[in-house]
Amino acid sequence: QIGTTLDERRNEGLYKAFEELFPITDSRNNFVLEFIDYTIDPPRYSIEECIDRGLTFKVPLKVKLKLYCTDTDHEDFETIVQDVYFGNIPFMTPKGSFVINGAERIIVSQLHRSPGVFFGQSFHSNGTKLYSARVIPFKGSWIEFTTDVNNVLYAYIDRKKKLPVTTLLRAIGYESDRDILEIFGIADEVKVSKSGLKKYVGRTLAARVLRSWVDDFVDEDTGELVPIERNEVILERDIILDKGHIDEIIDAGVETILLQKEDGNAYDHALIYNTLQKDPTNSEVEAIRHIYRQLRTAEAPDDETARGMIEKLFFSDQRYSLGHVGRFRINSRLKLNIPEGMMVLTKEDIVSIITTLISLVNSKVDVDDIDHLSNRRVRTVGEQLSNQFSVGLSRMARTIRERMNVRDNEVFTPIDLINAKTLSAVINSFFGTSQLSQFMDQTNPLAEVTHKRRISALGPGGLTRERAGFEVRDVHFTHYGRLCPIETPEGPNIGLISSLAVFAKINALGFIETPYRNVTGGKVNITDAPIYKTAEQEIDQVIAQANASLNEDGTFENDRIQSRSEADYLIAQPSRVTLMDVAPNQIASIAASLIPFLEHDDANRALMGSNMMRQAVPLLRTDAPIVGTGIEPHVARDSRTMINAEGEGKVTYVDAITIKVKYTKTEEEELVSFDDNEKTYSLTKFQKTNQRTCINIQPIVRVGDKVTKGQVLCHGYATENGELAIGRNLKVAFMPWKGYNFEDAIILSERVVREDLFTSLHIAEHVVNVRETTRGLEELTADIPNISETATKDLDENGMVRIGAHVKNGDILIGKITPKGESDPTPEEKLLRAIFGEKAGDVKDASLKTKPADVGVVIGKSLFSKTIKDRKAKTTDKADLAKLDTNFEKEAYALKNILSTKLYQIIGGKASKGVKNILGEEVISKSEKFTKKMLLGIDFTLIDPYKWTASKENNILVNRTIENYLRKYNEIYGEYRRERFSITVGDELPNGVLQLAKVQIAQKRKVKVGDKLAGRHGNKGIVSRIVKEEDMPFLEDGTPVDIILNPLGVPSRMNLGQIYETILGWAGQELGKKYFTPVFDGASIDQINAETDEAGLPRLGQTYLYDGGTGERFEQTATVGLFYMLKLSHLIDDKMHSRSIGPYSLITQQPLGGKAQNGGQRLGEMEVWALEGYGASNILQEMLTLKSDDVIGRAKAFESIVKGKDLPQAGIPESFNVLLHELNGLGLKVTFE
């Protein structure tokens, strides 16, 4: 809650974590450490600097703590208030990501089971239905109520020991059988007398009949007589009374008994009677002792301890909390009105749960659906971080208590108690290792937006892939408008990772809401803003579709409306409809909403389409689709990669890296602002993304252009003129061609390669760290031993390659030498070296060389160094720092001068209402008139921003001015601190690193055979051949097509959307139009025909093509048109791999696998079977020995080939030795005969 004062802070997040933990006291309650407030300083480095240097973008957290003593013996101990440094915490960037160790990461939101109460059922092995109610708290012990085969109700605490529910009820205050039966209203209390025998004979006892008396007991310590109440059971429950029983009861002096009710509901409450029958206890004391014995497997030392343990389990704020969500869910599920602030369980909750469970057993209510979105909630970034803070702070609290106890008689301060590393360690491990902290998918803007909107059911406290069944993964009717039914990964995570639907949002409690229009009396409320509903609020509502036809007054045109109510799709009367969808694409996620004609595609293919759009690489020349869905501009804008104008203004300057806009401001804005009217924007040039694609932004405005608010000023990085552009519009023909498009293969025209239609830029970044080794310092240099001059011609004196150099496989990028690991030199050697200098043999070449996949042009290099300073340098630094301090003071004073002038303009000469600072002290007294001198003397960083004058308007202006002043002051102060730090420390680098050298290589990758292309409808394929333009089939007017797809890829896959898109795209190209066909509300075939007719094209795109080779017309017509194709980030350059000599596995002596290890191919089990099947014994022997893991044999074979001798006899393969050793390990000795 940055920018809020202490009074304005909401009790949530970081503030709540501190409030819950503090005050901390020592074991004797002598010392108390209280929390007052926290402050967050501006970050030391900008986001770009952190990415460059491999640092974390973080802010320092300082906490104001108060330490005082309550013990009268420590009178000399003064109260101390201190600001304590609590470590650095990662800070979110404006794009919603975090920069951790130089890489952008995303914290994915988690969908987990909401705290609250859940009623479920399971089946016993004999087929009996068992019912259960489980209370899941936010923190604390779980409690579960379950029926068993004998219809007895048990409570399980923390899934450990079970006890009859009635024992628990006795322990929480319903002591006797009478109390228990009364709360459920299931027994009649009657007085016993000889005269009324007929009333009770034949009735069933509902509670035990007990005879009570008091024994006196002598306390051995004090000698006092202590009375003890004794109970004896005369009659057990469930006995059918006869005359003899009545006599026994009267003889025992019992006046009243409880009988089971004779009405029809007796069976309903059999559960309670059965449970009472099993209950081993008769009073509260017996119950608490029994529970203590069950949970602790030991006798309770005394009744108070036993009572305290139960109290702590469910009724203590410290140990147990349902959280706001848990309390809200319990209240709504059990229809209770317990106050929202009540975070622990109450007696009322427990009784209500048991009552509901009884109704469930008697089939009066239904069990809960665990996959219903009212029972699942989203843990967002903030909540996950706040939980981590609580964990870190509670660990810190433990050390604080220990230190307080140890330093009992010393004087100490809050700083002595705090170890900030404890908190930092927890936060850093969360960002570095948590399953939900993920490397940001930055292939293109869509991938970035989708990653931030992803919702995962995995992670800590969630599900695991192995245990998640079919139901959890399946689409549920409550997902409508909340989670996308289409976009989810293929493979083991299917259904566990989802995407938020387009209009969905997450409310304060973490439940997903979706918007609807209100419908009352058959009339849709079109004028008001839509209302957001959670899955629970949607129960029993009848919801009309978004494309239902309406009259101008908002009434429905038709008498029968297609609607849905929960899982049913019905045709309803207008009067029954209560809500209406806001848009047809409400059901889908952003990626699915980008697929035109989605309604004509099979869901499986749409899933592939939406997933593959995220893998499209940004192309060198962007091209927005001719056929889109209308949300392309929104995705481009919300990805925050472009620059939008902030208001009305005029462009004053444009070049490749800068745009300057002069904004027109109102008089009021001019008054409160501290910024120039002219704003400068820097454009990102050739920046590497996490996936090694390239962000390169170009301006699209010119000097003199007038701009309006929100107007796009630049494009690039998969956007064109403010629209998402992740592919190219290409002329396509659906036809077979010489078998080259068999099985989804794709044929491309050479034009696509020549005109760079599918060319993309990729940037590889190489980093070298210079450290101090045990043998001495490493060094960056161009003077590398045993390397020729030509190999180092492109290196500068620091050993870094020059910008603009073309590098190929094996070229040196960064020259580095490391001291050799020789034996320690003798004293004589040391002396000789001191005289004659180091000899070259003492260092080895540790240079970074180019890998085969990273051939390209060097586009950037940077070198960061920690400064190691001598006396002279320190003197210069002193002068620099003094100059920096003076400049900062001047700037700060000038800024304050401007502020006081502005404030004087607003409130000069007016009477004060009593201006106070944040500590509540009066700075300017009431009724005093404001003067410029007075305003100049105020420290505005500590001012409470309220009550300046009697005029509300003036107060608002004053607060806005001060707010802007503080923002500007923080900018100047942040810059001052950064410069000061760079003078004193130099570049901040990761631990142990003295220098960090970086080189960036750009590659221009044209489309090649083997690259993967795809459309937006899940139609993917590999480029099988690039054909000369003149050999491609051409149209009647001589236009050759750009791409040929196999028509057999369409019918079986049922993604007809691609055909619709092809036809409409051709019409768009001819007419120079762009089309938006929204998802589920797209163009009909009649509308498409109207467009093709207007363009003078054949309907359905059916036209004759001519063979490029012979010029003859093909026999049948083919579908031709314009289609949007994407180049995916599965490029052949990253996959192509060959090996001649390479590493072997140490144990088996077989080649390693995979490109990363420079691996080879292994002749595995199945390959051996194939050769055995052919009986090729000689080849098989060679393969298994000489060509594989017969170490000696393969060396000899190489020698004999070189010398032209016969091949040697094969030896024993290494894998056979491994087998022998395995057998030896089992104690078997194997000998060769």
Q: What does the pLDDT read at residue 521?
A: 86
Q: What is the mean pLDDT of residues 1199-1210?
A: 91
Q: What does the pLDDT read at residue 218?
A: 67
Q: What is the mean pLDDT of residues 401-424?
A: 81
Spatial separation of the C-alpha atoms in residues 497 and 486, rounded to whole Å: 11
Q: What does the pLDDT read at residue 1228?
A: 92
Q: Which residue has the higher pLDDT, 31 or 596?
A: 596
Spatial separation of the C-alpha atoms in residues 922 and 916, rounded to whole Å: 4
Residue 1097: pLDDT band (50, 70, 90) is very high
Residue ranges, comma separated, of all CATH 2.40.270.10 domains in the chain are 1005-1133
Asked whether the predicted pLDDT for residue 198 surpasses 70, the reply is no
Spatial separation of the C-alpha atoms in residues 206 and 181, rounded to whole Å: 8
Answer positive or negative: Cα dihedral of 802, 806, 807, 811: negative
Asked whether the predicted pLDDT for residue 265 surpasses 60, the reply is no
Structure tokens at 212: 């009570």
Structure tokens at 357: 């469970």
Burial code of 1189-1213, b = ≥16 C-beta within 10 A, e = fewer? bbeebbebbeeeeeeeeeebebeeb
Asked whether the predicted pLDDT for residue 1071 surpasses 80, the reply is yes
Residue ranges, comma separated, of all CATH 2.40.50.150 domains in the chain are 766-866
CATH superfamily of domain region 445-606: DNA-directed RNA polymerase, beta subunit, external 1 domain (2.30.150.10)
Cβ neighbours, 10 Å, residue 979: 15
Q: Which of 488, 502, 486, 506 is nearest to 581 (CA)?
A: 502
Q: What does the pLDDT read at residue 411?
A: 73
Q: What does the pLDDT read at residue 166?
A: 87
Q: How far is CA 1003 from CA 443, 657, 749, in A?
A: 16, 21, 22
Q: What is the mean pLDDT of residues 566-595?
A: 92
Structure tokens at 702: 């010119």
DSSP state letter for 706: E
Spatial separation of the C-alpha atoms in residues 41 and 973, rounded to whole Å: 10
Spatial separation of the C-alpha atoms in residues 640 and 714, rounded to whole Å: 12
Q: What is the mean pLDDT of residues 806-835?
A: 80
Q: What does the pLDDT read at residue 238?
A: 64
CATH superfamily of domain region 117-184+268-373: RNA polymerase Rpb2, domain 2 (3.90.1110.10)
For residue 509, report the phi and psi dihedrals to the nearest 5 degrees. Answer: -85, -5
Question: Which range, of 210-219, 648-657, 743-752, 951-960, averages the lowest pLDDT?
Answer: 210-219
Q: What does the pLDDT read at residue 428?
A: 92
Asked whether the predicted pLDDT for residue 1008 surpasses 90, the reply is yes
Asked whether the predicted pLDDT for residue 1051 surpasses 90, the reply is yes
Q: Which residue has the higher pLDDT, 598 or 241?
A: 598
Q: What does the pLDDT read at residue 856?
A: 92
Q: What is the mean pLDDT of residues 1104-1131?
A: 93
SS (H, E, C) 331-396: HHHHCCCCCCCCCCCCHHHHHHHHHHHHHHHCCCCCCCCCCCCCCEEEECHHHHHHHHHHHHHHHH
Structure tokens at 1068: 């768009």
Q: Nearest 10 degrees: CA dihedral of 479, 483, 486, 488?
A: -120
Residue 1047: pLDDT band (50, 70, 90) is very high
Pairing of strands 1102-1103, 1118-1127: antiparallel
Q: Are 1061 and 754 in contact (CB under 8 A)?
A: no
Q: Which of 999, 672, 973, 541 is nearest to 814 (CA)?
A: 999
Q: What does the pLDDT read at residue 211?
A: 66
Q: What does the pLDDT read at residue 162?
A: 84
Q: What confidence tens digit (pLDDT) does each residue in 448-461 have? A: 999 999 999 999 98
Residue 822: pLDDT band (50, 70, 90) is low
Q: Which of 91, 29, 37, 38 is nearest to 61 (CA)?
A: 38
Q: What does the pLDDT read at residue 1011?
A: 94
Q: What confidence tens digit (pLDDT) does each residue in 1209-1231 have? A: 988 888 889 999 999 999 999 88
Pairing of strands 1102-1103, 816-819: unpaired
Q: What does the pLDDT read at residue 820?
A: 79
Question: Which range, of 437-441, 529-533, 776-780, averages the lowest pLDDT?
Answer: 776-780
Residue ranges, comma separated, of all CATH 3.90.1100.10 domains in the chain are 6-112+379-423
Q: Are 328 and 534 in contact (CB under 8 A)?
A: no
Residue ranges, comma separated, of all CATH 3.90.1110.10 domains in the chain are 117-184+268-373
Spatial separation of the C-alpha atoms in residues 283 and 171, rounded to whole Å: 8
Q: What does the pLDDT read at residue 503?
A: 95
CA 583 to chain centre: 27
Q: Which residue has the higher pLDDT, 977 or 63?
A: 63
CATH 2.40.270.10 at 1005-1133, yes or no = yes
Residues 6 or more apart whose CB falls under 8 angstroms from that of 1030 comprise: 1040, 1108
Asked whether the predicted pLDDT for residue 75 surpasses 80, the reply is no
Q: What is the mean pLDDT of residues 89-111?
A: 92
- Mean pLDDT across the chain: 85
Burial code of 738-776, b = ≥16 C-beta within 10 A, e = fewer? eeebeebbbbbbbbbbeeebbbbbbbbebebebeeeeee
Pairing of strands 162-164, 153-157: antiparallel
Q: How far is CA 210 from CA 185, 216, 242, 273, 961, in A?
A: 21, 19, 18, 17, 79
Residue 1152: pLDDT band (50, 70, 90) is confident
Answer positive or negative: Cα dihedral of 357, 362, 366, 370: positive
Pick the CATH number of 6-112+379-423 from 3.40.50.1390, 3.90.1100.10, 3.40.50.10310, 3.40.50.300: 3.90.1100.10
Q: What does the pLDDT read at residue 293?
A: 84
Asked whether the predicted pLDDT for residue 327 surpasses 60, the reply is yes
Q: Are 469 and 558 in contact (CB under 8 A)?
A: no
Asked whether the predicted pLDDT for residue 984 surpasses 80, the reply is no
Asked whether the predicted pLDDT for residue 271 surpasses 70, the reply is yes
Residue 500: pLDDT band (50, 70, 90) is very high
404: enclosing H helix or E strand: helix 381-406
Residue 864: pLDDT band (50, 70, 90) is confident
Asked whether the predicted pLDDT for residue 6 surpasses 90, the reply is no
Could you tell me if residue 487 is left (phi over 0), alpha (psi between -120 and 50 degrees) or otherwise beta?
A: beta
Q: What confidence tens digit (pLDDT) does each residue in 884-938 have? A: 888 888 888 887 777 777 777 777 666 666 676 666 666 676 766 777 677 676 7
Strand partners, 824: none
Q: What does the pLDDT read at residue 916?
A: 67
Spatial separation of the C-alpha atoms in residues 290 and 293, rounded to whole Å: 5
Residue 228: pLDDT band (50, 70, 90) is low
Tell the CATH topology of 766-866: OB fold (Dihydrolipoamide Acetyltransferase, E2P) (2.40.50)
Q: What confidence tens digit (pLDDT) does each residue in 674-730 have? A: 777 788 899 988 989 998 899 999 999 999 889 998 888 998 889 998 899 999 999
